[in-house]
Amino acid sequence: GRWEALDPRVPFPVKRVFVPQLSPEDVPNPPLVPVVEVVQDRLGMEVVRGCTQGCRFCQAGYWYRPVREHDPATVLATLEAHVDATGYPEVGLLSLSTADYSQIEPLAWHLAERLKNRRVGVSLPSLRAESFSVALADAVSRVRKSGFTFAPETGSDRLRRVINKTFTNADMIAAAEVAFAKGWNLIKVYAMIGLPTETDEDVLELARLAREILQAARRVGNHHAEVKVSVGPFVPKPVTPFQWEPFGPVPLLQQRIELLKKAFRPIRWAKLTWVEPEEAALEALLSRGDRRLSRVIARAHDLGAVFDGWGEWLNLDAWRQAVAEAGLSWEAELGPRDLGATLPWDVIDPLVRKGYLKAERRRAYLEAATPDCRWGDCMRCGVPGDGVDTQLAKPTLPVVGEEAPALARARNAAYRLRPVPRIPPPSEPPQQPEKTARYRFTFQKLGEARWLSHRQVMDLLERALRASGAPVRFTEGFNPHIRLSMGPALPVGMEALAELFDVDCTGPITPELVEKINHTLPDGLRITHVEALAPQTP
């Protein structure tokens, strides 16, 4: 069949709208800070929107085109101001593929340089191995080290060509070796099973990759390195070249997870986690269905499906019954789609042509690469502008240290410029011992603040001390924290008028600083008194 407009006032199809250029005015200023701990509890800023890498499974990569980058000077100034306003101990440079930001290395280094004295770390989302470099590792390791995350999607070079991932296992191992040599002990790897044309041999390549990553760590003398591999079933998503592919089937996915579990069992220091195929099947159903699924969702809820995002609460029986009552079939919804069929999401025009997606699907089966148009010629995907809508940041910041060659070549070719200025990394001055004084703070916990837990109060106090600019002393090690000692924990729900905590400081705590701290704290938390303690005071 075909779609027709029901109301002449509503255009058909509904066209996707995008912001043509990122602006500093679009960034919330100051940012909102939640009182409680949240997922990804750090200060984040988008540095680039859109991705034209062309991974054939990635819905966001096709939906958010074209590429638009923020100016690096704007990012520097904004994040520095937001750190001062919020007291967050970590900032994140966010995008679909941050390593592809044309100014990522100089931006990361200069940001880390400005924030290092505040003991604020810089974090990156998952990286592409060919864009990883010594300079990037140096930048993000200056304050704190947690772990590096790579998303090769598969351990097979052949299968990576199918999905248009351009790097190889050798690139991945070289990137991991750099990270291990710089002191990291943890590499996280994200991968999928059930991709088109996948074989058992492709699946087993993931275990071989994990083993070779650990061998790279041993070569550079790191004997404490770990690899954590997370595997999820591939879900074909709308507006991708693989939108016509089937999901699963579930028994085959279960068989391949068992294959991986057996292959990982003898590998010391490698941990495998996975998403159950039944959970992914539900995701596929909700991703690929039409408006009839609204009845399925309502009925499943009536049957007891409530917290199904948590594996232990997943109620597949309720979903099966709801699907059956709606007259739908799991096999039909999760099976292959005909290339000429009208798809449920055809009511929306994503600007990427369906003909382009079909061509990319053909290229996938030929294992043919499609280059990233941000660095070269337009690929005629359908996003308007013949490539002129791509907005790359100007290469104005000098690169410090050794740059990833692939990124440098691509960027310089795109700008048709000579290489950007380079400066050697400065030598770090020797650390002088800091004089320390201990201060005892008295605070109130009243009203709505009584519902905050002991841990939440500690986090809020630490952020307020950072935001105020108080001369606090930090712990040593990979993840520095303020030297802060709390009194006994209060039960949640209990108010208090005179709770205590001690802080080691390298300078005086003035009344003006106390006022700044109180200005940052939420309603109900308030510092009422501060006194300097004599040496050896318990």
H/E element holding 233?
Answer: strand 226-233
252 and 140 in one domain? Answer: no
Question: pLDDT category, 414, cuts 50, 70, 90?
Answer: very low
Mean pLDDT value across residues 400-407? 55
The answer as to whether 330 is a domain residue is no
Q: What is the pLDDT of residue 522?
A: 94
The answer as to whether 354 is a domain residue is no
Count the domains in the chain. 3
DSSP letters of 310-362?
SGGG--HHHHHHHHHHTT--HHHHHS---TTSPPGGGGEE-SS-HHHHHHHHH
Structure confidence by residue, pLDDT tens digits, 248-260: 999 999 999 999 9
The answer as to whether 334 is a domain residue is no
Tokens 């208090």 correspond to 496
Q: What amino acid occupies position 468?
A: S
Q: What is the CATH number of the domain that holds 46?
A: 3.30.750.210
Question: pLDDT category, 355, cuts 50, 70, 90?
Answer: very high
The answer as to whether 328 is a domain residue is no
162 and 219 in one domain? Answer: yes
Q: Which residues contact 9 (CB under 8 A, 6 or more apart)?
A: none
157 and 140 in one domain? Answer: no
Question: pLDDT category, 424, cuts 50, 70, 90?
Answer: low
Closest CA to 317 of 303, 330, 331, 307: 303
- To the nearest whole percent, how much of the chain has pLDDT over 90? 62
159 and 214 in one domain? Answer: yes
Backbone angles phi, psi at 14, to 5 degrees: -75, 120
Question: pLDDT category, 304, cuts 50, 70, 90?
Answer: very high
Q: What is the pLDDT of residue 211?
A: 97
Question: pLDDT category, 147, cuts 50, 70, 90?
Answer: confident
Does the pLDDT at position 126 exceed 80?
A: no
Q: Which of 222, 256, 276 is the last residue of a domain?
A: 276
Q: Which stretches does DSSP call E strand in 159-216?
A: 186-193
Between the alpha carbon of residue 63 and those of residues 50, 239, 337, 374, 379, the distances in Å are 8, 7, 20, 15, 15
Range scoring the smallest mean pLDDT among 269-273, 370-374, 429-433 = 429-433
Q: Which residues contact 431 (CB under 8 A, 6 or more apart)?
A: none
Closest CA to 56 of 479, 339, 381, 296: 381
- Range among 103-117, 120-134, 220-234, 298-312 rated most confident: 220-234
Q: Which residues contact 119 (CB under 8 A, 6 or more apart)?
A: 89, 143, 474, 480
The answer as to whether 446 is a domain residue is yes
Angle (nearest 5°) at CA 235 between 375 and 68: 25
The answer as to whether 200 is a domain residue is yes
The whole-angstrom separation of Cα 354 and Cα 327 is 29
166 and 87 in one domain? Answer: no
Does the pLDDT at position 496 exceed 90?
A: yes
The answer as to whether 356 is a domain residue is no
Mean pLDDT value across residues 380-392? 80
CB count, 10 Å around CB of 446?
13
196 and 88 in one domain? Answer: no
Q: What is the pLDDT of residue 2?
A: 61
Q: What is the pLDDT of residue 38?
A: 82
Average pLDDT of every residue of the chain? 88
| C-beta of residue 498 within 8 angstroms of C-beta of residue 442 | yes
- Range among 140-144, 259-263, 400-404 rated most confident: 259-263
Instruction: Give the residue with greater pLDDT, 532 vs 143.
Output: 532
The whole-angstrom separation of Cα 228 and Cα 249 is 26
The answer as to whether 358 is a domain residue is no
466 and 492 in one domain? Answer: yes
Q: What is the CATH number of the domain that holds 211?
A: 3.30.750.200
Range scoring the smallest mean pLDDT among 111-115, 155-159, 491-495 = 111-115
The whole-angstrom separation of Cα 427 and Cα 340 is 62
Q: What is the pLDDT of residue 415?
A: 43
Does the pLDDT at position 315 exceed 50?
A: yes
205 and 96 in one domain? Answer: no
Question: pLDDT category, 417, cuts 50, 70, 90?
Answer: very low
Question: pLDDT category, 20, cuts 50, 70, 90?
Answer: confident
Mean pLDDT value across residues 17-23? 88
- Helix, strand and coil percent figures for the chain, each rounded to 5: 40, 15, 45
The whole-angstrom separation of Cα 380 and Cα 15 is 18
271 and 149 in one domain? Answer: yes
462 and 377 in one domain? Answer: no
Q: What is the pLDDT of residue 422?
A: 54
Q: Would you say the C-alpha torsion 326, 330, 334, 340 has a positive or negative sign?
A: negative
265 and 185 in one domain? Answer: yes
Q: What is the CATH number of the domain that holds 493?
A: 3.30.70.580
Domain that includes residue 89, residue range? 18-144+366-426
Q: What is the pLDDT of residue 100?
A: 87
Q: What are the beta bridge partners of residue 193?
A: 233
Q: Which of 391, 426, 461 is the last residue of a domain?
A: 426
Does the pLDDT at position 526 exceed 90?
A: yes
447 and 421 in one domain? Answer: no
The per-type count for the chain, helices as H runs and strands as E runs, is: 16, 17
Q: Which residues contact 166 (CB under 8 A, 6 or more apart)?
A: 130, 160, 369
Structure confidence by residue, pLDDT tens digits, 200-244: 999 999 999 999 999 999 999 999 999 999 999 999 999 999 999
Q: Which of 426, 452, 477 is the last residue of a domain?
A: 426
Q: Are strands 422-423 and 399-400 parallel, antiparallel or unpaired?
A: parallel
